[in-house]
Amino acid sequence: MKQIFAKIVNLANLGNSIYRLTFEAPEIANTVAPGQFINIRISDDSYPLLRRPFSVYNKVGDKLQILFNAVGRGTAIISKRKEGDSLDIIGPLGNSFSLTGDFENTLLVGGGMGVASLPLLYSEIQVNKIPVTIFVGARNKESLILDYLQNVSCATDDGSDGYKGNVVSLVEQYLNKNDIIKPKIFACGPPPMLRAISKLADKYNILCEVSIESAMACGIGICQGCPVERIGTTNKYSLVCKDGPIFESNTINYVLHG
């Protein structure tokens, strides 16, 4: 974990309110693992006050990228930064997806901005030569971001591209139609999607890791502000920023979330 000032080299609008930000961060790029995140300081002002967490979307040499949706005050400010500006970031943070364990196939599932967690993992899966199938869901065609991913099966809520409906139903359809030997699911997306994919994994008895979001103040485990309720663990809660954001889906109690 390091705190650095990173120079912005590119900020691209990918349509709608979705942006891809590229910045120089060799210290972090060298160590980051799939599923980890960084915490960005928005400005020197006190409103918005807290940093904002973003998954590391991809690394290109010494450079890192994040993919974000400008949904509020903080992300609106970042969307107006300029090339050459420097960005105060802390990272890499959190744990990472795990490619160890008893599986032979991988299914990557991204919903909405959750797709931001997939490219790094996809690269690592390719390096390890593990069979992979990718599913991405979004509200509509314009919100589908598929850069750095290949052979993606898409789902859109409005049917404007690919399967009409949610991405979890698409995954279920795929499992029913194909005989996949020992798959493991890696999923990232909004809480209702994660709950659904966890149920699916349970039903088919498949290993499944999910990336969880939570409101965060510090992002480094010192405020105790980002708990997620666990099942079958000694402690009732784990910290999303430090123990997560990646958890085995059947250890999460979704009742309180989303």
Ligand X SMILES: Cc1cc2nc3c(=O)[nH]c(=O)nc-3n(C[C@H](O)[C@H](O)[C@H](O)COP(=O)(O)OP(=O)(O)OC[C@H]3O[C@@H](n4cnc5c(N)ncnc54)[C@H](O)[C@@H]3O)c2cc1C
Ligand Y SMILES: Cc1cc2nc3c(=O)[nH]c(=O)nc-3n(C[C@H](O)[C@H](O)[C@H](O)COP(=O)(O)O)c2cc1C
Which residue, 136, 138, 141, 139, is CA-closest to 151?
Answer: 136
Residue 3 binding partner per list ligand FES, another protein, ligand Y, none, with a CB distance cut-off of 5 to 8 Å that depends on partner kind:
another protein
Smaller CB distance to another protein: residue 204 or 237? 237
Gyration radius (Cα) of the chain, Å? 18
User: Which one of 34, 35, 53, 110 is in contact with ligand X (CB under 6 A)?
Assistant: 53
Smaller CB distance to ligand Y: residue 34 or 219? 219
3-state SS record for the chain: CEEEEEEEEEEEECCCCEEEEEEECHHHHCCCCCCCEEEECCCCCCCCCCCEEEECCEEECCEEEEEEECCCHHHHHHCCCCCCCEEEEEEEECCCCCCCCCCCEEEEEEEHHHHHHHHHHHHHHHHCCCCEEEEEEECCHHHCCCCCCCCEEEEECCCCCCEECCHHHHHHHHHHHCCCCCEEEEEECCHHHHHHHHHHHHHCCCEEEEECCCCCCCCCCCCCCCEEEECCCCCCEEECCCCCCEEEHHHECHHHCC
Residue 2 binding partner per list ligand X, ligand FES, another protein, none, with a CB distance cut-off of 5 to 8 Å that depends on partner kind:
another protein
User: Which one of 21, 28, 54, 153 is in contact with ligand X (CB under 6 A)?
Assistant: 54
Residue 256 binding partner per list ligand X, ligand FES, another protein, none, with a CB distance cut-off of 5 to 8 Å that depends on partner kind:
another protein
Smaller CB distance to ligand FES: residue 26 or 221? 221
Binding mask 21-50 for ligand X (x = CB under 6 A): ----------------x----------x--
Give min distance, CB of 158 to ligand FES, in A: 35
Contact flag: residue 55 with ligand X (CB under 6 A)? yes
Residue 71 binding partner per list ligand FES, ligand Y, ligand X, none, with a CB distance cut-off of 5 to 8 Å that depends on partner kind:
ligand X
Give the footprint of ligand Y on this chain (CB under 6 A).
217, 223, 225
Contact flag: residue 225 with ligand X (CB under 6 A)? no
Using CB under 6 A as the criterion, which residues of the chain lie in contact with ligand X when the complex forms? Answer: 37, 48, 52-55, 66-69, 71-75, 113, 116, 213-214, 216, 245
